[in-house]
A and B are shown apart, each in its own frame.
Chain A
Amino acid sequence: ETGVTQTPRHLVMGMTNKKSLKCEQHLGHNAMYWYKQSAKKPLELMFVYNFKEQTENNSVPSRFSPECPNSSHLFLHLHTLQPEDSALYLCASSQVLGEVRVSDTQYFGPGTRLTVL
C-alpha cells in the first residue's frame, strides 16, 4: 500500500471550473513533486518542493498553481484548463539528503485522472 495518497482519483471538469488536486504523504519525506503523464508521452515533471522551496518547470502554464503548506501536503490548483490538459497527474515524495540535490527514490501516489471537457 502506497504511503502517498491522492484525491480525487478521477476528476471531470469544464474549462471554466476551478478545482484542486490534493496529495498527502505519510513517509516523513521532505520533498514532493507533481508530474503530468499524457497518453503516449514521457512523464513530465511540473513542480518540485524541496525544503519548502519551489522549483518549477518553466514550461508549465500559469493555469496550474501549486501549493505546499507543509512537508506532508501538496496541492495543485487548476483554473481555466484546456482539453489538452487532460492527463494523469501524479504526486510523488522523496527524502532529499542535506543541501545537495541527489536523486533519491521517489514514491508515487496512485494519480488523479483528469478530464477537461
Chain B
Amino acid sequence: EDKVVQSPLSLVVHEGDTVTLNCSYEVTNFRSLLWYKQEKKAPTFLFMLTSSGIEKKSGRLSSILDKKELFSILNITATQTGDSAVYLCAVNFDMRFGAGTRLTVKP
C-alpha cells in the first residue's frame, strides 16, 4: 500500500531558528515529490523534486530528495512568523499527500 509520512506532525520554534521537515514515502512507480505550504487558504507550491541529491533553493527554503532512502527534507533557515503554516508533501501524479507538518514560529 502506498503511503506518505511526514514528521513531525507539529513543530513550534522561535524566530531565527532553523527547521527541518521530513517526508518519507513508499509508492509504486515514483516520479516526483512536491512540497506545498498551506496557510488559511489553498496550498502554495514550493518545490518539485525528481532527481536524487540535487538541492532546490528558494530564499530561506531549500529541499532535497533521496530516492535510495525514499525521503525528502524541507529546510527553512532564519524562520519568521510568516513561515507559520502547514507544510504538505505529495508524491506522484495522483498527488498522494502526507498529513502535513504544522509549523508555528513564535516572535
Contacts and interface: CB of A to CB of B under 8 A. Distances in A.
Given A103-B34, A105-B48, A33 B95 contact: yes
B57 interface: no
B95 A2 contact: no
A43 B92 contact: no
- Give chain B's interface residue range (CB within 8 Å of chain A): 20 to 34
B92 A103 contact: yes
Contacts of A69: none
Given A42-B97, A43-B88, A45-B95, A105 B41 contact: no
B94 A45 contact: yes
**Majority SS at the chain A contact face:** loop
A103 B48 CA distance: 9
Contact of B95 (A43, A107, A111): A43
Interface of B: 31-34, 41-45, 48, 88, 90-100
Interface of A: 2, 33, 35, 41-43, 45, 48, 55, 90, 96, 101-111
